[in-house]
Copies of this chain bind each other. A is one copy, B any other.
Protein backbone atom coordinates (compact mmCIF):
# COMPACT_ATOMS: atom_id res chain seq x y z
CA UNK A 1 0.00 0.00 0.00
CA UNK A 2 1.39 3.39 -0.94
CA UNK A 3 1.51 5.70 2.06
CA UNK A 4 1.36 8.92 0.13
CA UNK A 5 -0.87 9.79 -2.84
CA UNK A 6 0.77 9.12 -6.22
CA UNK A 7 1.16 12.79 -7.15
CA UNK A 8 2.82 13.49 -3.80
CA UNK A 9 5.15 10.49 -4.22
CA UNK A 10 5.99 11.83 -7.67
CA UNK A 11 6.82 15.28 -6.31
CA UNK A 12 8.98 13.71 -3.58
CA UNK A 13 10.83 11.72 -6.28
CA UNK A 14 11.42 14.89 -8.29
CA UNK A 15 12.95 16.67 -5.32
CA UNK A 16 14.98 13.58 -4.43
CA UNK A 17 16.46 13.64 -7.95
CA UNK A 18 18.09 17.02 -7.26
CA UNK A 19 21.77 17.01 -6.30
CA UNK A 20 22.35 16.80 -2.55
CA UNK A 21 18.69 16.20 -1.68
CA UNK A 22 17.98 12.91 0.12
CA UNK A 23 14.65 11.13 0.53
CA UNK A 24 13.87 12.74 3.90
CA UNK A 25 14.68 16.25 2.69
CA UNK A 26 12.66 15.63 -0.47
CA UNK A 27 9.66 14.71 1.70
CA UNK A 28 10.06 17.88 3.73
CA UNK A 29 10.30 20.00 0.59
CA UNK A 30 7.23 18.34 -0.96
CA UNK A 31 5.20 18.91 2.22
CA UNK A 32 6.34 22.51 2.14
CA UNK A 33 5.02 22.85 -1.42
CA UNK A 34 1.64 21.41 -0.36
CA UNK A 35 1.49 23.94 2.45
CA UNK A 36 1.95 26.84 0.01
CA UNK A 37 -1.05 28.71 -1.36
CA UNK A 38 -2.21 27.70 -4.85
CA UNK A 39 -0.75 30.93 -6.25
CA UNK A 40 2.62 30.35 -4.58
CA UNK A 41 2.84 26.76 -5.79
CA UNK A 42 1.94 27.82 -9.32
CA UNK A 43 4.52 30.58 -9.19
CA UNK A 44 7.17 28.00 -8.14
CA UNK A 45 6.24 25.75 -11.06
CA UNK A 46 6.28 28.70 -13.44
CA UNK A 47 9.71 29.78 -12.18
CA UNK A 48 11.05 26.42 -13.37
CA UNK A 49 9.50 26.55 -16.84
CA UNK A 50 10.25 30.27 -17.25
CA UNK A 51 13.91 29.91 -16.36
CA UNK A 52 14.23 26.85 -18.57
CA UNK A 53 12.55 28.65 -21.48
CA UNK A 54 14.16 32.10 -21.13
CA UNK A 55 17.72 31.34 -20.12
CA UNK A 56 20.27 30.48 -22.78
CA UNK A 57 23.89 31.21 -23.50
CA UNK A 58 25.29 34.59 -24.52
CA UNK A 59 26.33 34.37 -28.17
CA UNK A 60 29.66 36.01 -27.30
CA UNK A 61 30.84 34.70 -23.92
CA UNK A 62 28.49 31.71 -23.35
CA UNK A 63 27.46 33.04 -19.94
CA UNK A 64 23.77 32.55 -19.10
CA UNK A 65 21.45 35.31 -20.28
CA UNK A 66 17.92 35.98 -21.43
CA UNK A 67 18.96 38.25 -24.29
CA UNK A 68 21.02 37.57 -27.39
CA UNK A 69 24.12 38.69 -25.48
CA UNK A 70 24.69 39.09 -21.73
CA UNK A 71 24.78 42.31 -19.71
CA UNK A 72 28.55 42.18 -19.34
CA UNK A 73 29.22 41.72 -23.05
CA UNK A 74 26.75 44.53 -23.80
CA UNK A 75 28.20 46.98 -21.29
CA UNK A 76 30.45 49.65 -22.78
CA UNK A 77 32.14 50.09 -19.41
CA UNK A 78 33.84 46.68 -19.65
CA UNK A 79 37.29 46.30 -21.09
CA UNK A 80 36.99 44.04 -24.13
CA UNK A 81 40.74 43.57 -24.44
CA UNK A 82 40.79 41.15 -21.51
CA UNK A 83 38.90 37.84 -21.36
CA UNK A 84 38.67 35.83 -18.14
CA UNK A 85 38.07 32.13 -18.91
CA UNK A 86 36.00 30.24 -16.32
CA UNK A 87 34.46 26.80 -16.35
CA UNK A 88 30.96 27.58 -14.99
CA UNK A 89 28.52 30.53 -14.89
CA UNK A 90 28.71 30.60 -11.10
CA UNK A 91 32.44 31.37 -11.37
CA UNK A 92 31.54 34.64 -13.11
CA UNK A 93 29.51 35.50 -10.03
CA UNK A 94 32.48 34.73 -7.76
CA UNK A 95 34.82 37.01 -9.67
CA UNK A 96 32.26 39.80 -10.08
CA UNK A 97 31.77 39.75 -6.31
CA UNK A 98 35.30 41.07 -5.92
CA UNK A 99 34.46 44.28 -7.88
CA UNK A 100 38.06 44.24 -9.10
CA UNK A 101 37.86 42.75 -12.57
CA UNK A 102 36.58 44.93 -15.38
CA UNK A 103 37.15 42.79 -18.47
CA UNK A 104 34.83 40.29 -20.13
CA UNK A 105 34.38 36.56 -19.56
CA UNK A 106 34.30 33.34 -21.46
CA UNK A 107 32.37 30.47 -19.90
CA UNK A 108 33.56 27.02 -21.01
CA UNK A 109 30.62 25.14 -19.43
CA UNK A 110 32.85 22.34 -18.27
CA UNK A 111 36.48 21.28 -18.14
CA UNK A 112 38.43 18.72 -20.10
CA UNK A 113 37.93 15.36 -18.44
CA UNK A 114 39.13 12.22 -20.22
CA UNK A 115 37.59 10.12 -17.42
CA UNK A 116 34.12 11.52 -18.18
CA UNK A 117 34.76 11.56 -21.95
CA UNK A 118 34.67 15.36 -22.10
CA UNK A 119 37.02 16.51 -24.84
CA UNK A 120 37.90 19.91 -26.36
CA UNK A 121 34.82 19.86 -28.62
CA UNK A 122 32.47 19.39 -25.65
CA UNK A 123 33.35 22.70 -23.98
CA UNK A 124 33.32 26.15 -25.60
CA UNK A 125 36.99 26.38 -26.59
CA UNK A 126 36.34 26.97 -30.29
CA UNK A 127 34.23 30.05 -29.51
CA UNK A 128 37.06 31.43 -27.36
CA UNK A 129 39.57 31.02 -30.19
CA UNK A 130 37.18 32.79 -32.55
CA UNK A 131 36.89 35.72 -30.14
CA UNK A 132 40.64 35.94 -29.70
CA UNK A 133 41.15 35.79 -33.49
CA UNK A 134 38.59 38.42 -34.38
CA UNK A 135 38.53 40.81 -31.43
CA UNK A 136 40.90 43.35 -30.01
CA UNK A 137 41.92 40.87 -27.26
CA UNK A 138 45.25 41.50 -25.54
CA UNK A 139 45.08 39.18 -22.54
CA UNK A 140 43.35 35.93 -21.61
CA UNK A 141 43.23 35.09 -17.90
CA UNK A 142 42.76 31.38 -17.22
CA UNK A 143 40.51 31.17 -14.15
CA UNK A 144 39.52 27.51 -14.16
CA UNK A 145 39.53 25.78 -10.78
CA UNK A 146 42.92 24.93 -9.23
CA UNK A 147 42.29 21.17 -9.44
CA UNK A 148 43.69 18.57 -11.82
CA UNK A 149 41.06 19.00 -14.52
CA UNK A 150 40.93 22.80 -14.26
CA UNK A 151 44.72 22.86 -14.43
CA UNK A 152 44.85 20.61 -17.49
CA UNK A 153 42.14 22.64 -19.22
CA UNK A 154 44.02 25.90 -18.56
CA UNK A 155 47.22 24.33 -19.87
CA UNK A 156 45.52 22.97 -22.99
CA UNK A 157 43.88 26.29 -23.88
CA UNK A 158 47.01 28.33 -23.18
CA UNK A 159 48.85 26.18 -25.71
CA UNK A 160 46.14 26.80 -28.33
CA UNK A 161 46.45 30.54 -27.67
CA UNK A 162 50.23 30.63 -28.23
CA UNK A 163 50.01 31.47 -31.98
CA UNK A 164 47.92 34.57 -31.29
CA UNK A 165 50.81 36.35 -29.56
CA UNK A 166 48.68 37.68 -26.71
CA UNK A 167 49.28 37.59 -22.97
CA UNK A 168 47.92 34.40 -21.37
CA UNK A 169 47.88 34.44 -17.57
CA UNK A 170 46.70 32.21 -14.73
CA UNK A 171 45.15 33.22 -11.40
CA UNK A 172 47.84 33.35 -8.69
CA UNK A 173 48.20 30.45 -6.27
CA UNK A 174 48.95 31.17 -2.65
CA UNK A 175 47.68 31.26 0.88
CA UNK A 176 44.14 32.61 1.21
CA UNK A 177 43.85 36.10 2.72
CA UNK A 178 42.99 35.95 6.42
CA UNK A 179 43.85 32.27 6.73
CA UNK A 180 46.39 30.57 8.95
CA UNK A 181 49.68 29.07 7.71
CA UNK A 182 49.11 26.14 10.04
CA UNK A 183 46.07 25.07 8.03
CA UNK A 184 47.52 25.60 4.55
CA UNK A 185 48.26 22.35 2.71
CA UNK A 186 51.79 21.66 1.48
CA UNK A 187 51.02 22.19 -2.21
CA UNK A 188 49.47 25.60 -1.53
CA UNK A 189 52.35 26.62 0.72
CA UNK A 190 54.91 25.57 -1.89
CA UNK A 191 53.07 27.54 -4.57
CA UNK A 192 52.94 30.54 -2.23
CA UNK A 193 56.72 30.31 -1.77
CA UNK A 194 57.37 29.98 -5.50
CA UNK A 195 55.14 32.95 -6.22
CA UNK A 196 56.56 35.17 -3.48
CA UNK A 197 56.73 38.89 -4.28
CA UNK A 198 58.98 41.77 -3.15
CA UNK A 199 57.68 43.79 -0.22
User: Residues of A with Cβ closer than 8 Å to B?
Assistant: 1-8, 10-11, 13-14, 18-21, 25, 27-34, 36, 38, 41-55, 64-66, 71-72, 75, 88-90, 92-93, 96
21 of the cross-chain contacts (CB-CB < 8 Å) are A1-B75, A1-B96, A2-B71, A3-B92, A3-B93, A5-B54, A5-B65, A7-B51, A8-B55, A10-B51, A11-B48, A19-B32, A27-B90, A30-B51, A34-B55, A38-B52, A41-B49, A41-B52, A44-B48, A45-B48, A48-B48
Starting from the known contacts A8-B51, A8-B55, A45-B46, 13 additional A-B residue pairs (CB-CB under 8 Å) come to A5-B51, A5-B66, A7-B50, A7-B66, A11-B47, A13-B47, A14-B43, A19-B29, A21-B29, A34-B51, A34-B55, A34-B64, A44-B48
Number of identical monomers bound together in the oligomeric complex = 2
- Distance from A43 Cβ to chain B, minimum over Cβ atoms (Å): 8
Closest 8 pairs (CB-CB, A-B): A41-B52, A11-B51, A45-B45, A5-B66, A45-B48, A7-B54, A7-B51, A14-B47
Who on chain B is nearest to A19 by CB? B32
Nearest B residue (CB) for A28: B19
Q: What residue in chain B is nearest A65 (Cβ atoms)?
A: B5
Minimum C-beta distance from A95 to chain B (A) = 10
Complex: A46 Cα to B48 Cα, angstroms? 10
- Output the least CB separation between A96 and chain B (Å): 5
Look across to chain B and name the residue whose beta carbon is closest to the beta carbon of A44. B14
**Nearest CB of B to A34, in Å:** 6
Cβ–Cβ contact B47 & A7, under 8 A = yes
- Chain B proximity of A39: nearest CB distance (Å): 10
Report Cα–Cα, A165/B130, bound state, in Å.
85
- Taking the nearest CB of chain B, how far is it from the CB of A138, in angstroms? 23
C-alpha gap A5/B52 in the complex (Å) = 11
Are B75 and A10 closer than 8 Å at their CB atoms? Answer: no
